[in-house]
A = this chain, B = another copy of it.
């Protein structure tokens, strides 16, 4: 690929590392709203306008915003909205971000800014699932006084994260049970050698679990379910907002919970940045070839 001009705006350590990796590949990179990190070999721009000036591609965070249209800038004191960004761009500058909702897509349309979501790319989502599963295992190791070896783990859901998490937990010597809702998923769970339980029968299988991992982004563990857990069960919720656990109820009855959001950026920013870089290169190549497989 030819050398390009990139701006990286906001985001966590993953975005900071991404800026470094792009620079290491020979691209010109400026960053903004990342001042609490200090990526090597990249230019910290003094303003949004200075950052995006003359760039071919502007990379926004994952998720792109935290509240409404406010850009997600955990490593910065700077606050700005997606509107601020779009109004600073021209129509020939490509904007990329993650987990973009309909409102923001329409806003970009209004400003005639080409905006693509890198988080709908399967290659990124699958690699993220691996990183999330590793992060979940790290948390399980840190937060329990027992070994995973010999422990009983229950995973709710057999989507991407459930699949790679079950694979790894089994290898570490845990007794793995996975719950799912469809016959196909239940057949896959058994094909890989785990215990399977139908979601309908979940309530009867919540006792005797050392660590419970939820991957379903829907309230699954309400007060009723939480009461069925052993008092020392650790609940790790890997689902995105609104989360699958009634955290307030859990605190009230003394069940230890960890809501592990955005693990890839936290536990493995370098691997995550590599995955993001490769995905961005794929998108740019497709753009050049006039194909947009993204929408």
Q: Which residues of A contact B (CB under 8 A)?
A: 13, 17, 121-123, 126-127, 129-131, 134-135, 137-138, 141-142, 144-150, 164, 167-168, 171-173, 182-184, 186-188, 190-193, 267-271, 282
Contacts and interface: CB of A to CB of B under 8 A. Distances in A.
B269 A122 contact: no
Count chain B CB atoms within 10 A of each CB in A134, A171, A182, A187 and give the residue with the most. A187
A172 to B, nearest CB: 6
User: Interface residues of A: mostly helix, strand, loop or mixed?
Assistant: helix
Nearest to A133: B149
A267 to B, nearest CB: 7
A134 to B, nearest CB: 5
A145 B191 contact: no
B149 A134 contact: yes
A148 B133 CA distance: 11
Contacts of A186: 123
Given A122-B187, A126-B188, A168-B172, A270 B193 contact: no
Nearest to A273: B145
